[in-house]
Structure 1
Amino acid sequence: MSTRDTSAKEDPIIESRDQLVAPMQLGEKPKADWRIGTEHEKLVFNRSDHRAPSYEEKGGIRDILLSLQEFGWEPVEEGGKVIAMRGEDGTVSLEPAGQLELSGAPLENLHETCAETGRHLDQVKQVGEACDVGFLGLGMWPDKTRDELPMMPKGRYDIMKRHMPRVGTLGLDMMLRTCTIQVNLDYSSEADMAQKFRTGLALQPLATALFANSPFTEGKPNGFLSYRSHIWSDTDPHRTGMLPFVFEDGFGYERWVDYMLDVPMYFVFRDGKYIDAAGFSFRDFLKGELSVLPGEKPTESDWWDHLSTAFPEVRLKSFLEMRGADGGPWSRICALPAFWVGLLYEQSALDAAWDLVKHWSMEEREELRNAVPKQALDAPIPGGGNLRDLAKDVLKIARSGLTARARFNASGDNETGFLETLDEIVASGKVPAQVLLDRYHGEWGGDISRVYKYSF
């Protein structure tokens, strides 16, 4: 989740709708300047007892962050407490219960992306040795209750923790118990953004299925393959979902602004503190009628903050965020950007991918999205067959897109190798969660603690 940047000196008041559209327009870039940003979260556990460490304790989350200074990272503070580290590879930040996230730098190719991931994981492993902690690549805590998890000292998380139970039953699980991999991608124009958004949204259930990796809750199978994905179905209906309007004629920046204006607020950031505005209207804020800041109108930074508080399957800010994958190990962290870059960064591949799904009705898209958390690649697709059948076609398109990009490493390899782990999943017919369930019912003998041996 975003870490607030307080370095901007000028912060104009929003006086016109043009300022609301500006972040999306500013995201337009020529193809030569398109970049790849990869974010991934990890569960942190104490090696001796598998407990989730608190922020303050010796060897806890604060110490883990500060230990990254050894590798050139610099602290970011909120309220006098370190809540993130910044460096050449992006930002290392904290999710609500101490899940550690790398928001990677915008990079030119997948070789750089995977190298960045490798550097980060190597660094946190070294820190883990010193702090006696490990890192687990799953989509959800396999054994922890909500009450067993700590809360990190970030003001926006306190606000969200209070608000979540008002709007859904699983929002606290989203905050405290889940981990994801996410990819941020560029676009050249409003039309390019719209085609990528629609294609990404329609195919997001396939990404969820391929990366499904959260089959346990509180030590037992939960009946899902991606319980993390299921959690989003009852987190907050005002800011989640498949967004039918994206597929309507005329979708573009203006329609996204209207959507975001209808997403209820969480907070306003003033003088280094978060002011609780949960449930209030940004439209009222624009009129100077926000009750928690009477007479005050929003700044451009307030709007940027608000753009980060919607959580649909694909999100638009000044880039597109692909948000549907469970957390996982190094190979899958590299595979997710390969999947989306291959599909969306070459026009021929993008057209081919859209052709596969453009005829689906909104009802069919919703049915597929709702089936995936339990069925993954076995979920039926419109027109017959299942997601495993579709995956073969989609991965072929992604491979063609990566081949056409012709981005090579020093050994002369192109980027298609990063899809191999997904090829293996499709060939086997078993997503990561099914492999874990086989182990749980087999060699683990129902002992969920064995999952910690499969940490990073």
Structure 2
Amino acid sequence: MSAPATANTQPITGKADLIAPFEAGCKPPERWRVGTEHEKLAFTFRDLRPLPYQGADGAPGILDMLEGLRGFGWRPVEEDGALIALTCPDGGSVTLEPGGQLELSGAPLETIHQTCAEVSSHHRNLKAVASEHGIGLIGLGFNPKWARDDIPWMPKGRYAVMRRHMPTVGTLGLDMMLRTCTVQVNLDYQSETDMVRKFRVALALQPLATALWANSPFTEGRPNGFLSYRSHIWTDTDPARCGMLPFVFEEGMGFERYVDYLLDVPMYFVYRDGRYIDAAGQSFRDFMDGRLPALPGERPTQGDWSDHITTAFPEVRLKSYLEMRGTDGGPWSRICALPGFWVGLLYDSVALDEAAQLTRSWTLAEVSALRDQVPARALATPFRDRTLGDVALEVLDIARRGLARRARLNSQGRDETCFLDVLFEIADSGRCPAEDHLESFHGRWNGDIDPLFMEYAY
């Protein structure tokens, strides 16, 4: 989750100021970049427990990981004297999710080859530090073993506000915060019209991405009845800030319409003088009028608006770029496959036309039904006269052709289509990663979840 964006103290004087950050995201295609984010669960090899922020009596903690990564040139970010994040001079950051999940927010890069080199370098650094402390890291959509009360909270002020607020608006918000992991990709747009086309295609295909990456079938050591429990959790986190955003498919969608949506999303906090002021449930519209109960008489800055933008959690989120948010965490190959999937569909004009044509006749009811069914059924979800797995092969073909036309080659002369190979294997088999884990659990693992950590740790 994002750090506060309060450096921009420019006052907001009207709606045009709220629209401006989205307009500023418009870029010509030659300036489009790829930003990939992925989260990992950290645990001790001794007992598989999640790490506290700071270990006691010689036990490891997340702080050991952050301090160790500083040795690779990362710069510290502190809050109230606690090290909570790192930044890289070349771009990107390492941050802490509420339950100690480590997130790499990658630099904006030109090719997926560069993205995967970044991911590989990050993992090498993590393993070097982790091996010194008996720490393991694993990419999954949900913590498969430990209960909510077993997960230590990280010392970040915004999480304290969310921790108090989440149980008032849904039953699974704390699980989202403490036990889930995702991988996402951030992509650019050329204009407002281009943003709308990409937003609509991405939102329609987000359930398909969820199905291909589904990787969270266990809760507290047992099957939970879902293939992507992480995706299910978002359905009961906070209906005011999560979901599929039907208005995106409606006439009149654009930057202003998205701003109107954000103004209807209740606030979490205001960041002032190094501390988070609890404004949970209050209205940004009231804030603009100087009537925010948490800060009577004050009006927001662009930094406050930037913070508020990060507190909406739809399946696709608009910032000054588009975030694809629908997938479970996973291993290296599927981290690199996600930018391959979306870049192939959205960064090639022919592929975008084909994807838009494919999804144009899909009704909101059909897309919503996919979103509701995919967490439990993944690629077996029925769609019209076939399954989502059949649709996946068609969409992957579009993405592969899009990447081939991009013709971005690595030093061995290979283009970016290689990153889709793992997805074609999944779609051809009709089995998502979660189904492989379930087969192992009921078979060679003999109903024990612990081997999952040993076999799939980075």
Spell out the pairing of 1:253-272 with structure 2 (5 A cutoff).
253-272=255-274
Alignment-derived partner of residue 52 in structure 2: 54
State which of 258, 270, 275 in structure 1 corresponds to 2:277: 275
TM superposition shift of 1:61 = 0.7
* Contact 1:89–1:116 (CA under 8 A) maintained in structure 2: no
- Letter of the 2:210 counterpart: T
Separation in 2, partners of 1:59, 1:22: 45
* Contact 2:96–2:102 (CA under 8 A) maintained in structure 1: yes
TM superposition shift of 1:69 = 1.1
Q: Deviations over 1:174-214 (max 9, x none)?
A: 00000000000000000000000000000000000000000
State which of 318, 327, 330 in structure 2 corresponds to 1:328: 330
Alignment-derived partner of residue 93 in structure 1: 95
TM superposition shift of 1:391 = 0.5
* Contact 1:187–1:193 (CA under 8 A) maintained in structure 2: yes
Tell me the SS of whatever aligns to 1:292. coil
TM superposition shift of 1:59 = 2.4
Matched residues, number: 453
- Letter of the 1:82 counterpart: L
Q: Structure 1 unaligned segments of length 5 or more: list them.
A: none
Tell me the SS of whatever aligns to 1:369. helix
The answer to whether residue 8 in structure 2 is matched with residue 2 in structure 1 is no
Separation in 1, partners of 2:385, 2:370: 12
Tell me the SS of whatever aligns to 1:293. coil
Alignment-derived partner of residue 419 in structure 1: 420
* Contact 2:5–2:303 (CA under 8 A) maintained in structure 1: no
State which of 4, 11, 17 in structure 1 corresponds to 2:15: 17
Alignment-derived partner of residue 64 in structure 2: 63
* Contact 1:140–1:228 (CA under 8 A) maintained in structure 2: yes
* Contact 2:340–2:420 (CA under 8 A) maintained in structure 1: yes
Alignment-derived partner of residue 108 in structure 1: 110
* Contact 1:211–1:328 (CA under 8 A) maintained in structure 2: yes
Tell me the SS of whatever aligns to 1:182. strand
Separation in 1, partners of 2:64, 2:272: 28
* Contact 1:13–1:299 (CA under 8 A) maintained in structure 2: yes
Separation in 2, partners of 1:282, 1:5: 16
TM superposition shift of 1:354 = 1.1
* Contact 1:110–1:334 (CA under 8 A) maintained in structure 2: yes
Tell me the SS of whatever aligns to 2:386. coil
* Contact 1:68–1:127 (CA under 8 A) maintained in structure 2: yes
Separation in 2, partners of 1:337, 1:4: 26
- Letter of the 1:403 counterpart: A
- Letter of the 1:335 counterpart: A
TM superposition shift of 1:62 = 1.0
Separation in 2, partners of 1:335, 1:56: 34
Q: Deviations over 1:237-271 (max 9, x none)?
A: 00011100000011000000000000000000000
* Contact 2:240–2:266 (CA under 8 A) maintained in structure 1: yes
Spell out the pairing of 1:43-192 with structure 2 (5 A cutoff).
43-57=41-55, 58-87=59-88, 88-192=90-194
Separation in 2, partners of 1:442, 1:354: 42
Tell me the SS of whatever aligns to 1:41. strand
Separation in 2, partners of 1:280, 1:413: 52
State which of 223, 232, 244 in structure 2 corresponds to 1:230: 232
Alignment-derived partner of residue 434 in structure 2: 433
TM superposition shift of 1:4 = 2.4
The answer to whether residue 228 in structure 2 is matched with residue 214 in structure 1 is no
* Contact 1:90–1:102 (CA under 8 A) maintained in structure 2: yes
TM superposition shift of 1:357 = 1.1
Spell out the pairing of 1:234-249 with structure 2 (5 A cutoff).
234-249=236-251
Alignment-derived partner of residue 199 in structure 1: 201
TM superposition shift of 1:12 = 1.0
The answer to whether residue 382 in structure 2 is matched with residue 380 in structure 1 is yes
Alignment-derived partner of residue 350 in structure 1: 352
Alignment-derived partner of residue 443 in structure 2: 442
- Letter of the 1:440 counterpart: F
Alignment-derived partner of residue 400 in structure 2: 399
Q: Deviations over 1:413-433 (max 9, x none)?
A: 000000000011011111100
Tell me the SS of whatever aligns to 1:274. strand
TM superposition shift of 1:112 = 0.1
Q: Structure 2 unaligned segments of length 5 or more: list them.
A: none
Q: Alignment identity in percent?
A: 61
TM superposition shift of 1:89 = 4.8
The answer to whether residue 356 in structure 2 is matched with residue 366 in structure 1 is no
* Contact 1:40–1:102 (CA under 8 A) maintained in structure 2: yes
Alignment-derived partner of residue 34 in structure 2: 36
Separation in 2, partners of 1:425, 1:327: 15
- Letter of the 2:285 counterpart: R
Tell me the SS of whatever aligns to 1:27. coil
Q: Give the stretch that moved more between structures: 97-106 or 357-366.
A: 357-366
Separation in 1, partners of 2:367, 2:393: 19
TM superposition shift of 1:360 = 1.2
With normalisation by structure 2, the TM-score equals: 0.98
Q: Give the stretch that moved more between structures: 262-271 or 81-90.
A: 81-90
With normalisation by structure 1, the TM-score equals: 0.98
* Contact 2:198–2:346 (CA under 8 A) maintained in structure 1: yes
Separation in 1, partners of 2:325, 2:425: 22
* Contact 1:97–1:149 (CA under 8 A) maintained in structure 2: yes
Q: Deviations over 1:200-243 (max 9, x none)?
A: 00000000000000000000000000000000000000001110
- Letter of the 1:392 counterpart: L
Q: Which runs of 4+ in 1 moved over 4 A?
A: none
Separation in 2, partners of 1:59, 1:434: 32
Tell me the SS of whatever aligns to 2:437. helix
Q: Deviations over 1:269-304 (max 9, x none)?
A: 000111000000000000000011000000000000
State which of 293, 296, 299 in structure 2 corresponds to 1:297: 299
* Contact 2:146–2:220 (CA under 8 A) maintained in structure 1: yes
